[in-house]
Structure 1
Amino acid sequence: MSDLVAIVYPSLEKAEAVRQEFLTLQKEYLISLDDAVIAVKTDDNKIKLHQMVNTTATGAASGSFWGLLVGMVFLMPVVGVVIGAASGALGGLLADFGINDKFMKDLSSSIQPGNAVLFLLIRSMTADKVLEEIRGSGGVVLKTSLNNEKETALREALAGSPVHDTPAAPSA
Protein backbone atom coordinates (compact mmCIF):
# COMPACT_ATOMS: atom_id res chain seq x y z
CA MET A 1 0.00 0.00 0.00
CA SER A 2 1.33 3.44 -0.92
CA ASP A 3 1.47 6.50 1.33
CA LEU A 4 0.38 9.97 0.26
CA VAL A 5 2.29 13.08 1.31
CA ALA A 6 1.32 16.67 0.36
CA ILE A 7 3.82 19.45 1.20
CA VAL A 8 3.22 23.17 0.58
CA TYR A 9 6.05 25.35 -0.76
CA PRO A 10 6.13 29.11 -1.39
CA SER A 11 6.74 28.74 -5.14
CA LEU A 12 6.67 26.32 -8.06
CA GLU A 13 10.47 26.57 -8.33
CA LYS A 14 11.03 25.42 -4.74
CA ALA A 15 8.53 22.56 -5.09
CA GLU A 16 10.20 21.48 -8.34
CA ALA A 17 13.64 21.52 -6.70
CA VAL A 18 12.40 19.25 -3.92
CA ARG A 19 10.64 16.96 -6.42
CA GLN A 20 13.97 16.64 -8.27
CA GLU A 21 15.63 15.66 -4.96
CA PHE A 22 13.06 12.89 -4.53
CA LEU A 23 13.56 11.72 -8.11
CA THR A 24 17.32 11.59 -7.50
CA LEU A 25 16.71 9.52 -4.35
CA GLN A 26 14.55 7.20 -6.45
CA LYS A 27 17.46 6.70 -8.89
CA GLU A 28 19.55 5.74 -5.85
CA TYR A 29 16.88 3.17 -4.83
CA LEU A 30 16.20 4.92 -1.51
CA ILE A 31 12.57 5.65 -2.35
CA SER A 32 10.03 4.24 -4.78
CA LEU A 33 7.47 6.77 -6.04
CA ASP A 34 4.23 5.90 -7.79
CA ASP A 35 3.60 9.57 -8.58
CA ALA A 36 5.04 13.04 -7.90
CA VAL A 37 2.83 15.96 -8.96
CA ILE A 38 3.06 19.68 -8.26
CA ALA A 39 -0.15 21.71 -8.00
CA VAL A 40 0.17 25.50 -8.23
CA LYS A 41 -2.52 28.00 -7.32
CA THR A 42 -2.47 30.89 -9.79
CA ASP A 43 -3.30 34.52 -9.01
CA ASP A 44 -6.79 34.00 -10.44
CA ASN A 45 -7.31 31.09 -7.94
CA LYS A 46 -7.07 28.32 -10.56
CA ILE A 47 -5.12 25.16 -9.85
CA LYS A 48 -2.58 23.99 -12.45
CA LEU A 49 -1.13 20.49 -12.17
CA HIS A 50 2.45 19.77 -13.25
CA GLN A 51 2.49 16.01 -13.79
CA MET A 52 5.62 13.89 -13.93
CA VAL A 53 4.43 12.28 -17.17
CA ASN A 54 2.42 14.02 -19.88
CA THR A 55 -0.10 11.27 -20.61
CA THR A 56 -1.49 13.10 -23.66
CA ALA A 57 1.90 13.32 -25.37
CA THR A 58 2.80 9.76 -24.40
CA GLY A 59 -0.53 8.50 -25.74
CA ALA A 60 -0.07 10.40 -29.01
CA ALA A 61 3.42 8.97 -29.52
CA SER A 62 2.28 5.43 -28.76
CA GLY A 63 -0.81 5.84 -30.95
CA SER A 64 1.33 7.14 -33.83
CA PHE A 65 3.55 4.07 -33.67
CA TRP A 66 0.66 1.60 -33.63
CA GLY A 67 -1.22 3.62 -36.26
CA LEU A 68 1.83 3.53 -38.53
CA LEU A 69 2.18 -0.21 -38.05
CA VAL A 70 -1.50 -0.89 -38.82
CA GLY A 71 -1.45 1.67 -41.66
CA MET A 72 1.50 -0.12 -43.29
CA VAL A 73 -0.45 -3.37 -43.28
CA PHE A 74 -3.30 -1.67 -45.18
CA LEU A 75 -0.88 0.40 -47.34
CA MET A 76 -2.01 3.72 -45.78
CA PRO A 77 0.73 4.58 -43.25
CA VAL A 78 0.02 8.34 -43.15
CA VAL A 79 -3.67 7.81 -42.40
CA GLY A 80 -2.71 5.22 -39.77
CA VAL A 81 -0.34 7.66 -38.04
CA VAL A 82 -2.93 10.43 -37.96
CA ILE A 83 -5.72 8.21 -36.62
CA GLY A 84 -3.36 6.50 -34.17
CA ALA A 85 -1.98 9.80 -32.83
CA ALA A 86 -5.46 11.26 -32.39
CA SER A 87 -6.83 8.22 -30.60
CA GLY A 88 -3.68 7.87 -28.47
CA ALA A 89 -3.79 11.54 -27.47
CA LEU A 90 -7.46 11.23 -26.53
CA GLY A 91 -6.75 8.10 -24.50
CA GLY A 92 -3.83 9.82 -22.76
CA LEU A 93 -5.92 12.89 -22.00
CA LEU A 94 -8.59 10.75 -20.36
CA ALA A 95 -6.11 8.59 -18.42
CA ASP A 96 -5.45 9.42 -14.77
CA PHE A 97 -2.56 7.52 -13.23
CA GLY A 98 -1.37 7.81 -9.64
CA ILE A 99 -2.96 10.49 -7.50
CA ASN A 100 -6.50 11.52 -8.44
CA ASP A 101 -6.47 14.94 -10.18
CA LYS A 102 -9.73 16.10 -8.59
CA PHE A 103 -8.40 15.26 -5.11
CA MET A 104 -5.22 17.29 -5.76
CA LYS A 105 -7.18 20.27 -7.08
CA ASP A 106 -9.62 20.20 -4.15
CA LEU A 107 -6.84 20.00 -1.55
CA SER A 108 -4.78 22.69 -3.30
CA SER A 109 -7.67 25.15 -3.28
CA SER A 110 -6.90 25.90 0.39
CA ILE A 111 -3.41 27.34 -0.28
CA GLN A 112 -2.45 30.94 -1.07
CA PRO A 113 -2.04 32.07 -4.71
CA GLY A 114 1.53 31.55 -5.90
CA ASN A 115 2.12 28.65 -3.51
CA ALA A 116 2.68 25.10 -4.73
CA VAL A 117 1.86 21.71 -3.28
CA LEU A 118 4.16 18.76 -3.92
CA PHE A 119 2.11 15.55 -3.91
CA LEU A 120 4.08 12.33 -3.49
CA LEU A 121 2.67 8.83 -3.67
CA ILE A 122 5.33 6.74 -1.95
CA ARG A 123 5.33 2.99 -2.51
CA SER A 124 8.30 2.35 -0.21
CA MET A 125 11.35 4.11 1.16
CA THR A 126 14.36 3.79 3.41
CA ALA A 127 12.98 6.37 5.83
CA ASP A 128 16.12 7.28 7.78
CA LYS A 129 18.20 7.94 4.65
CA VAL A 130 15.44 9.79 2.78
CA LEU A 131 14.63 12.03 5.75
CA GLU A 132 18.31 12.84 6.18
CA GLU A 133 18.61 13.80 2.49
CA ILE A 134 15.59 16.15 2.56
CA ARG A 135 16.41 17.59 6.00
CA GLY A 136 16.00 21.36 6.01
CA SER A 137 14.36 21.57 2.58
CA GLY A 138 11.45 23.46 4.10
CA GLY A 139 7.80 23.19 3.30
CA VAL A 140 4.70 22.67 5.39
CA VAL A 141 2.99 19.29 5.53
CA LEU A 142 -0.57 19.77 4.33
CA LYS A 143 -1.77 16.16 4.42
CA THR A 144 -0.36 12.67 4.78
CA SER A 145 -1.57 9.12 5.13
CA LEU A 146 1.44 8.36 7.34
CA ASN A 147 0.95 7.35 10.96
CA ASN A 148 1.58 10.06 13.60
CA GLU A 149 5.14 8.93 14.36
CA LYS A 150 6.22 8.97 10.70
CA GLU A 151 4.44 12.28 10.05
CA THR A 152 6.23 13.89 12.99
CA ALA A 153 9.58 12.62 11.68
CA LEU A 154 8.77 14.10 8.25
CA ARG A 155 7.79 17.47 9.73
CA GLU A 156 11.00 17.58 11.77
CA ALA A 157 13.13 16.68 8.76
CA LEU A 158 11.58 19.36 6.57
CA ALA A 159 12.11 21.92 9.33
CA GLY A 160 15.74 20.86 9.70
CA SER A 161 15.37 19.56 13.26
CA PRO A 162 18.09 17.31 14.67
CA VAL A 163 18.00 13.63 13.80
CA HIS A 164 15.93 11.42 16.11
CA ASP A 165 15.18 7.76 15.98
CA THR A 166 13.31 7.53 12.68
CA PRO A 167 10.43 5.11 12.16
CA ALA A 168 10.37 2.19 9.80
CA ALA A 169 9.70 2.85 6.13
CA PRO A 170 6.32 2.25 4.52
CA SER A 171 6.40 -1.16 2.89
CA ALA A 172 5.14 -2.38 -0.43
Structure 2
Amino acid sequence: MSDLVVIVYPTEAKAEEMRQKLLGLQKEYLIELSDAVIAVKQDSGRVKLIQLFNTTAAGALTGGFWGLLIGAMFLMPLLGASIGAASGALAGALSDAGINDNFMKELSAQLKPGNAALFVLIRKMTTDKVLEAIKGSGGTVLQTSLDHTKEDALRDALAATHASGEASGGSALST
Protein backbone atom coordinates (compact mmCIF):
# COMPACT_ATOMS: atom_id res chain seq x y z
CA MET A 1 0.00 0.00 0.00
CA SER A 2 1.27 3.48 -0.87
CA ASP A 3 1.49 6.49 1.44
CA LEU A 4 0.72 10.05 0.38
CA VAL A 5 2.75 12.93 1.80
CA VAL A 6 2.07 16.60 0.99
CA ILE A 7 4.65 19.19 2.07
CA VAL A 8 4.30 22.95 1.46
CA TYR A 9 7.31 25.10 0.56
CA PRO A 10 7.60 28.89 0.18
CA THR A 11 8.80 28.61 -3.44
CA GLU A 12 8.64 26.29 -6.42
CA ALA A 13 12.45 26.09 -6.44
CA LYS A 14 12.53 24.77 -2.86
CA ALA A 15 9.88 22.14 -3.68
CA GLU A 16 11.83 21.08 -6.77
CA GLU A 17 15.02 20.83 -4.69
CA MET A 18 13.27 18.43 -2.31
CA ARG A 19 11.82 16.41 -5.21
CA GLN A 20 15.32 16.03 -6.69
CA LYS A 21 16.65 14.97 -3.27
CA LEU A 22 13.94 12.28 -3.05
CA LEU A 23 14.71 11.10 -6.58
CA GLY A 24 18.35 10.82 -5.56
CA LEU A 25 17.34 8.72 -2.55
CA GLN A 26 15.33 6.55 -4.91
CA LYS A 27 18.52 5.90 -6.93
CA GLU A 28 20.09 4.72 -3.69
CA TYR A 29 17.11 2.36 -3.15
CA LEU A 30 16.14 4.06 0.10
CA ILE A 31 12.70 5.11 -1.15
CA GLU A 32 10.42 3.93 -3.94
CA LEU A 33 8.16 6.63 -5.38
CA SER A 34 5.02 6.08 -7.44
CA ASP A 35 4.64 9.79 -8.20
CA ALA A 36 6.10 13.16 -7.21
CA VAL A 37 4.19 16.26 -8.35
CA ILE A 38 4.69 19.93 -7.53
CA ALA A 39 1.62 22.15 -7.35
CA VAL A 40 2.27 25.90 -7.51
CA LYS A 41 -0.36 28.49 -6.64
CA GLN A 42 0.13 31.37 -9.05
CA ASP A 43 -0.61 35.03 -8.32
CA SER A 44 -3.80 34.73 -10.38
CA GLY A 45 -5.05 32.06 -7.94
CA ARG A 46 -4.72 29.29 -10.52
CA VAL A 47 -2.91 26.09 -9.49
CA LYS A 48 -0.26 24.77 -11.91
CA LEU A 49 0.81 21.13 -11.67
CA ILE A 50 4.37 20.17 -12.59
CA GLN A 51 4.26 16.44 -13.24
CA LEU A 52 7.27 14.19 -13.00
CA PHE A 53 6.16 12.29 -16.08
CA ASN A 54 4.37 13.91 -19.06
CA THR A 55 1.80 11.32 -20.21
CA THR A 56 0.83 13.33 -23.31
CA ALA A 57 4.40 13.44 -24.66
CA ALA A 58 5.02 9.79 -23.81
CA GLY A 59 1.77 8.80 -25.52
CA ALA A 60 2.67 10.79 -28.64
CA LEU A 61 6.13 9.19 -28.80
CA THR A 62 4.83 5.66 -28.31
CA GLY A 63 1.91 6.19 -30.68
CA GLY A 64 4.20 7.68 -33.32
CA PHE A 65 6.52 4.70 -33.13
CA TRP A 66 3.73 2.15 -33.47
CA GLY A 67 2.02 4.22 -36.18
CA LEU A 68 5.28 4.38 -38.13
CA LEU A 69 5.78 0.64 -37.79
CA ILE A 70 2.24 -0.25 -38.87
CA GLY A 71 2.25 2.44 -41.58
CA ALA A 72 5.49 1.01 -42.98
CA MET A 73 3.78 -2.35 -43.39
CA PHE A 74 1.13 -0.68 -45.57
CA LEU A 75 3.70 1.53 -47.40
CA MET A 76 2.41 4.74 -45.71
CA PRO A 77 4.89 5.36 -42.87
CA LEU A 78 4.35 9.14 -42.57
CA LEU A 79 0.56 8.85 -42.43
CA GLY A 80 0.82 5.99 -39.93
CA ALA A 81 3.28 7.94 -37.75
CA SER A 82 1.14 11.07 -37.69
CA ILE A 83 -2.07 9.20 -36.90
CA GLY A 84 -0.27 7.12 -34.26
CA ALA A 85 1.28 10.20 -32.64
CA ALA A 86 -2.05 12.02 -32.54
CA SER A 87 -3.94 9.08 -31.05
CA GLY A 88 -1.12 8.38 -28.58
CA ALA A 89 -1.05 12.01 -27.45
CA LEU A 90 -4.82 11.97 -26.95
CA ALA A 91 -4.65 8.74 -24.97
CA GLY A 92 -1.80 10.12 -22.86
CA ALA A 93 -3.67 13.36 -22.15
CA LEU A 94 -6.77 11.46 -21.05
CA SER A 95 -4.89 9.07 -18.75
CA ASP A 96 -4.07 10.06 -15.19
CA ALA A 97 -1.46 7.91 -13.49
CA GLY A 98 -0.42 8.42 -9.90
CA ILE A 99 -2.02 11.10 -7.74
CA ASN A 100 -5.40 12.46 -8.87
CA ASP A 101 -4.98 15.90 -10.49
CA ASN A 102 -8.28 17.27 -9.16
CA PHE A 103 -7.34 16.27 -5.61
CA MET A 104 -4.00 18.09 -5.91
CA LYS A 105 -5.63 21.24 -7.30
CA GLU A 106 -8.30 21.31 -4.59
CA LEU A 107 -5.78 20.82 -1.79
CA SER A 108 -3.38 23.40 -3.27
CA ALA A 109 -6.11 26.03 -3.54
CA GLN A 110 -5.55 26.86 0.15
CA LEU A 111 -1.89 27.83 -0.43
CA LYS A 112 -0.71 31.42 -0.54
CA PRO A 113 0.18 32.69 -4.03
CA GLY A 114 3.76 31.77 -4.95
CA ASN A 115 3.89 28.81 -2.56
CA ALA A 116 4.34 25.27 -3.79
CA ALA A 117 3.20 21.90 -2.48
CA LEU A 118 5.15 18.72 -3.11
CA PHE A 119 2.86 15.69 -3.45
CA VAL A 120 4.74 12.42 -3.01
CA LEU A 121 3.21 8.97 -3.37
CA ILE A 122 5.56 6.53 -1.61
CA ARG A 123 5.40 2.79 -2.29
CA LYS A 124 8.00 1.92 0.34
CA MET A 125 10.94 3.48 2.13
CA THR A 126 13.65 2.92 4.67
CA THR A 127 12.14 5.45 7.06
CA ASP A 128 15.09 6.19 9.36
CA LYS A 129 17.56 6.77 6.51
CA VAL A 130 15.15 8.91 4.46
CA LEU A 131 14.29 11.09 7.47
CA GLU A 132 17.98 11.53 8.22
CA ALA A 133 18.63 12.58 4.60
CA ILE A 134 15.87 15.22 4.56
CA LYS A 135 16.56 16.49 8.07
CA GLY A 136 16.39 20.26 8.32
CA SER A 137 15.21 20.80 4.75
CA GLY A 138 12.19 22.81 5.85
CA GLY A 139 8.64 22.73 4.65
CA THR A 140 5.31 22.33 6.38
CA VAL A 141 3.46 19.02 6.35
CA LEU A 142 0.00 19.72 4.94
CA GLN A 143 -1.39 16.19 4.79
CA THR A 144 -0.20 12.59 5.01
CA SER A 145 -1.61 9.09 5.11
CA LEU A 146 1.19 8.05 7.48
CA ASP A 147 0.43 6.85 10.99
CA HIS A 148 0.83 9.45 13.76
CA THR A 149 4.26 8.23 14.83
CA LYS A 150 5.75 8.46 11.32
CA GLU A 151 4.01 11.78 10.64
CA ASP A 152 5.45 13.30 13.84
CA ALA A 153 8.91 11.97 12.91
CA LEU A 154 8.55 13.57 9.46
CA ARG A 155 7.52 16.93 10.96
CA ASP A 156 10.45 16.80 13.40
CA ALA A 157 12.94 15.93 10.63
CA LEU A 158 11.76 18.76 8.36
CA ALA A 159 11.84 21.31 11.19
CA ALA A 160 15.14 20.12 12.74
CA THR A 161 17.16 23.27 11.95
CA HIS A 162 14.47 25.23 10.15
CA ALA A 163 12.77 26.91 13.12
CA SER A 164 14.26 30.34 12.31
CA GLY A 165 13.02 30.20 8.71
CA GLU A 166 9.44 29.53 9.85
CA ALA A 167 9.46 32.63 12.05
CA SER A 168 10.60 34.91 9.25
CA GLY A 169 8.65 33.34 6.38
CA GLY A 170 5.37 32.71 8.16
CA SER A 171 2.87 30.06 7.29
CA ALA A 172 2.49 29.03 3.67
CA LEU A 173 -1.23 28.37 4.07
CA SER A 174 -3.82 31.10 3.69
CA THR A 175 -6.26 31.58 6.54
Q: 1:40, CA displacement in angstroms?
A: 0.3
- Per the alignment, in what secondary structure is the counterpart of residue 112 of structure 2? coil
SS class of match (1:130): helix
Alignment-derived partner of residue 60 in structure 1: 60
Partners in 1 of 2:49 and 2:42 — Cα distance? 11
Correspondence for 1:114: 114
Cα distance in 2 for residues equivalent to 1:160 and 1:62: 45
Q: Distance in 1 between matches of 2:85 and 2:160?
A: 47
Question: Which residue of 1 is the match for residue 144 of structure 2?
Answer: 144
Letter in 1 for 2:21: E
TM-score calculated relative to the size of structure 2? 0.91
State how 1:18-97 maps to structure 2 within 5 Å: 18-97=18-97
Identity of aligned residues (%): 66
CA distance in 1, matches of 2:14, 2:99: 21
The yes-or-no answer on 1:11 pairing with 2:11 is: yes
Inter-partner Cα distance in structure 1 for 2:67 and 2:12:
37
CA deviation digits over 1:107-142, x for unaligned, max 9? 000110000000000000000000000000000000
- Counterpart AA for 1:102: N
Structure 2: gaps of 5 or more residues: 162-175
**Tell me, what secondary structure is at the counterpart of 2:99?**
coil
CA distance in structure 2 between the partners assigned to 1:58 and 1:138 by the alignment: 33
- Residue 138 of structure 2 aligns with an amino acid whose one-letter code is G
Q: How does 1:93-172 map to 2 (within 5 A)?
A: 93-160=93-160
Q: Specify every segment of 5 or more residues in structure 1 that has no aligned partner in the other structure, as ranges.
A: 162-172
- Give, as a single letter, the amino acid of the residue that structure 2 aligns with 1:37: V
Secondary structure, aligned partner of 2:154: helix
* Runs of 4+ deviating beyond 6 Å: none
- Structure 1 residue 84: deviation in Å? 0.3
Deviation at 1:98? Answer: 0.4
- Give the TM-score, by structure 1 length: 0.93
State the SS of the aligned residue for 1:78: helix
Equivalence for 1:168: none
Q: Deviations over 1:12-62 (max 9, x none)?
A: 000000000000000000000000000000000000000000111000000
The code of the aligned residue for 1:64 comes to G
Matches of 1:110 and 1:147 in 2, distance apart?
Answer: 24
Using the alignment, how far apart are the partners of 1:77 and 1:68 within structure 2? Answer: 5
**Which position in structure 2 is the counterpart of 1:167?**
none
Q: Tell me the CA shift for residue 160 of structure 1.
A: 1.3
